[in-house]
C-alpha cells in the first residue's frame, strides 16, 4: 500500500481580495466536482463488480477514482484556506 503525502506550506500573509475571489471561483469548481463525484461513484460501483468477478483491479477505473480523490483533496485544501495554490477548474489526470 502506498502512502499519501500532502505538502501544504504555511504562509502568514493572506490577501483579502483573494478570499473574495475564492467565493466566485467556487461556483464553477463545485459544479465540476459534483459531476465528477457522481461519475466517480458510478465507476467505483462498476469497479467493485469488476473486482468481484475477475479478482483484480481495472487500471483505468482505478486511475479515474484516484484522480477524483486527489482533485477533491486539492479543492478542499484551497477552500478551507489551507493553501493559496489555486486548483484547476478541470482536474488533471493523476
The string of DSSP codes covering 52-84 is: HHHSS--HHHHHHHHHHHHHHHHHHHHHTTS--
Give per-residue pLDDT as tens, 43-59.
999 999 999 999 999 99
Average pLDDT of the residues in 20-32 = 89
> Does residue 28 sit in helix, strand or coil?
helix
What is the model's pTM? 0.81
pLDDT band at 18 (very low <50, low <70, confident <90, very high): confident
CB atoms within 10 A of CB 68: 20
Give per-residue pLDDT as tens, 60-75.
999 999 999 999 998 9
Q: Which residue in 67, 40, 46, 72 sits closest to 58, CA to CA?
A: 46
| Mean pLDDT estimate for the chain | 87
- 74 vs 83: CA distance, rounded Å: 9
φ and ψ at residue 19, rounded to 5 degrees: -65, -35
Amino acid at each position: 500500500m502506498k502512502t499519501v503525502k500532502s505538502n501544504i506550506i504555511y504562509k502568514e500573509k493572506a490577501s483579502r481580495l483573494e478570499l473574495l475571489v475564492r467565493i466566485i471561483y467556487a461556483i464553477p469548481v463545485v459544479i465540476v466536482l459534483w459531476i465528477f463525484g457522481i461519475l466517480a461513484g458510478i465507476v467505483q460501483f462498476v469497479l467493485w463488480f469488476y473486482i468481484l468477478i475477475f479478482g483484480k483491479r481495472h487500471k483505468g477505473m482505478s486511475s479515474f477514482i484516484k484522480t477524483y480523490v486527489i482533485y477533491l483533496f486539492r479543492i478542499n485544501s484551497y477552500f478551507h484556506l489551507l493553501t493559496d495554490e489555486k486548483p484547476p477548474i478541470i482536474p488533471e489526470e493523476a
